Chains A and B, each alone.
Chain A
Amino acid sequence: MNDMTKVEPMPALRFEAPPSTSLLAHARHIVAENPVTGLAFGLFALIVIAAVLGPSLVPYDPLASDTNAALQGPSAAHWFGTDQLGRDIFSRVIVATRLDFAIAVCSVALVFAMGGLAGVMAGFYGGWVDKLVGRIADTIMAFPLFVLAMGIVAALGNSVTNIVIATAIINFPLYARVARAEANVRREAGFVQAARLSGNSDWRLLLTQIVPNIMPIMAVQMSLTMGYAILNAAGLSFIGLGVRPPTPEWGIMVAEGASFIVSGEWWIAFFPGLALMTAVFCFNLLGDGVRDLVDPQRRN
């Protein structure tokens, strides 16, 4: 068996296979193919910039009140107008991005870790693990999800951390079920069997064979739930749970502005609402683009 090195190779088959391309070129292609994806990526970039640099970009202190300038409509000085305390709504909307975005990212990361892991294990091992995860998911689904989130925040205490936890819990069934289904169909796939033959332990199979292959679908799921998480956080704040005034947050701002709509000061609720809608819209559109970007089958 030592003479393996000096053997002559078999005649090679030459078939045209597409060469690989860089991630950037691939991203450019995907955007060119679907302009809506380009729009979503653009909006996403804006949201990230606002979240990271927001406080240093805005023209006014979002907490500073100026009673002389209260309840003014949109103008050159105050693009989005001012609220009942004379605070600049534009500054508040931009500064709020960081908090809302952070809540969404943290809760999605948390539920991805919890739900994804539980689901993958349920799908891979089956048996009692599957039953347990399935019943937990069913139990959560049995409640109206927003009411459940309200209950969790009310019970755990009124804080940003608890909003994150509540949002993660109500999204758990979605992640667990998607991950379970995806892991389950791949459990018997040829490449998993081949990896078993290569002497991989179950844990290694899970982490090197199954998890990387379900990432595309999980990435789409994450993008979709990001929008939902923002909406949920804003919703909780709207009804007075979680974030408390005067902290700038889209949900509270809409809640505060709601009472002024009847008297004609529409801008107080409108602009934070618009920001909220844009963010949710952006994350939903992003889903398709993310799938195209991370799917290796499309990289050719």
Chain B
Amino acid sequence: MIPAPLLDIKNLTVEFATRRGTVKAVKAIDISVGKGETVAIVGESGSGKSVTSYAVVRILDRAGRVAEGSITFSGMDLVNAPESQMRDLRGREISMIFQNPRAALNPIRKVGKQIEDVLLEHVQATRATAREKAIEALTKVKIARPEERYDAYPFELSGGMCQRVVIALALACQPQLLIADEPTTGLDVTTQKAVMDLIVELTRERGMSTILITHDLGLAAAYCDKVVVMEKGVVVETAPAGEIFRNPQHPYTRKLMQATPRIGMSLADLLPDAAKGPPAQAAAPRPAPVAGAEPLMRVENLVKEYPRPETGSFLAKLMGKAEEPKPAFRAVDGISFTVAKGETLGLVGESGCGKSTTSMMITRLIDPTGGRIIFDGTDIGAIPAKQFAASPHRRRIQMVFQDPTDSLNPRFTAERAIADPIMRMGTISGRDALRARCEELARLVGLPVELIDRFPHQLSGGQKARVGIARAIALEPDLVILDEPTAALDVSVQAVVLNLLEELKGRLGMSYLFVSHDLNVVRLLCDRVIVMKTGAIVEQGTAEEVLGNPQADYTKELLTAIPHPPL
């Protein structure tokens, strides 16, 4: 006899009441999780994967309700269980880990105390043993010096550390089921590996079941037994992890897998076959940067320092006992590189390595502390950032931002956003001419023209990304800084946007500085790569050299940390 699954979701439908009537976020899905099993729910935004998990622990917001179906957790009906019973169940039997660990922790309470709270709430410890047990929990999630960290506040810990604390919280009461909702999104790839390894190790050790909700097929394949693929509220495929990658059945699964960047594929391979351009164009080699020619931009010994906050107390200073002022923090520590005309240069590194600071200096949004930025013969680093808006070079260096939502003014229509640089620095004047140019740009980036009168919140993520790209290329700049332009997008949208960027580059003769932490994407798009760590360059060379045969230990570490789907 097959043992009954720990969690059994049958024919579940979840509805949300909205202004336009009820919307079914999840439609008649079946998912079962066995004891000790690790199940991944994979899907893009809007697939209903998070809503499903919220329905399990009954934390849907007020507008949502389970319309149909049953959720059974070790013989108990979760849909109709009284709230008091659910409250007891959450944390003790079923725990959740959320995407942003910092938001999940109380910012003004010591992390040790927060673990104690959970232990006491669920009667896992007494006041006398709480401290000891909390330290034990911290030790289990491999936090170094747990006695010291007990007294730390969340802001004193890194993102990875915070996630470990959250895991400690979730596992403190030895639950039977752990639901991890995108637990590593926003973490660096080496941290991601450490956190995922930890989750898997701890849950195996205790015979717990895990549901991993993710958009990353590679992650799902590397850490899970079974994969459930969801699309628009429907489960399209359920199969063992090995099986699903070797032999995907559903077209959507195939499309997802195709859009995931991997080794040994080209940009055009990411797109579904129907959307590919003519093969001649796809196969065209990248125009090689002209050797020996003066590069478009030469960065020499660039430095950015931030003063450290003063630590000594006012009284100590008054008494003349002030500590020696600490040296300023060097976010960027003397880096030099060049960008050739028509080249895509990748700038790679983990958070805090100084890559964003570097790109901000190059776009002249902040002033460097030292060094030179020579752009087409002029040292633009010498022009203060405040006055750069009036410089003739302003229009030649543009940027595509990481978050398409945050980078669009919520009160501007798409057209107004695209027109902004033209109105300030362009030569086009007159309402009709401006409108015509915006429509032309919209067509160029594949944004349906009828959408350009919409506001950002009426556009999808991919459409907003296109508006951001259209704005950046509106003045036909020479250098475009791409700051993780696809980090906030689904893989299928990412595939289209990356291809769009590549095509636009060829057509407009631009150079790109591509800032990213995703090495698989960098491999596809970039000619040369720079790897940064703690403000300095550890390795640079052509993309094939650096990513195919890395020399620096750090680059090797980055490359091995990427979860690969078994293909």
Binding site for B on A (CB under 8 A): 1, 3-5, 7, 9-20, 29, 189-191, 193-202, 204, 208-209, 212-213, 296-297, 299-300
Contacts and interface: CB of A to CB of B under 8 A. Distances in A.
Contact of B463 (A13, A29, A189, A299): A13
B407 A4 contact: no
B432 interface: no
Q: What 8 A-B pairs come out closest when comparing CB atoms?
A: A190-B407, A10-B446, A15-B460, A198-B421, A190-B406, A199-B424, A191-B409, A199-B425
Interface in B417-462: 417, 420-421, 424-425, 440, 443-448, 451, 454-455, 457-460, 462
B455 A20 contact: yes
A18 B458 contact: yes
Contact of B398 (A19, A197, A297): A197
B506 to A, nearest CB: 11
Contacts of A18: 20, 458
B92 interface: no
Interface residues of B, number: 57
A9 B446 contact: yes
B508 interface: yes
A17 B457 CA distance: 8
Interface stretch (B218-226, B244-252, B493-501, B512-520): B493-501
A38 B471 CA distance: 41
Given A10-B503, A11-B446, A196-B389, A191 B407 contact: yes
B500 A299 contact: no
Contacts, number: 125
A218 to B, nearest CB: 13
Nearest to A17: B458
Given A10-B445, A13-B460, A18-B458, A193 B407 contact: yes
A19 B458 contact: yes
Contact of B399 (A4, A197, A212): A197
A197 B421 contact: yes
B411 interface: yes
A198 B496 contact: no
A18 B401 CA distance: 24
Given A197-B399, A197-B472, 17 more contacts: A1-B476, A9-B443, A11-B275, A11-B496, A29-B19, A190-B402, A190-B406, A190-B408, A191-B407, A194-B407, A197-B365, A198-B425, A199-B424, A202-B386, A209-B409, A296-B455, A300-B458
B508 A17 contact: no
A197 B509 CA distance: 20
A156 B406 CA distance: 47
Contact of B496 (A10, A200, A213, A297): A10
A13 B389 contact: no
Contacts of B457: 296-297, 299-300
A193 to B, nearest CB: 6
B352 interface: no
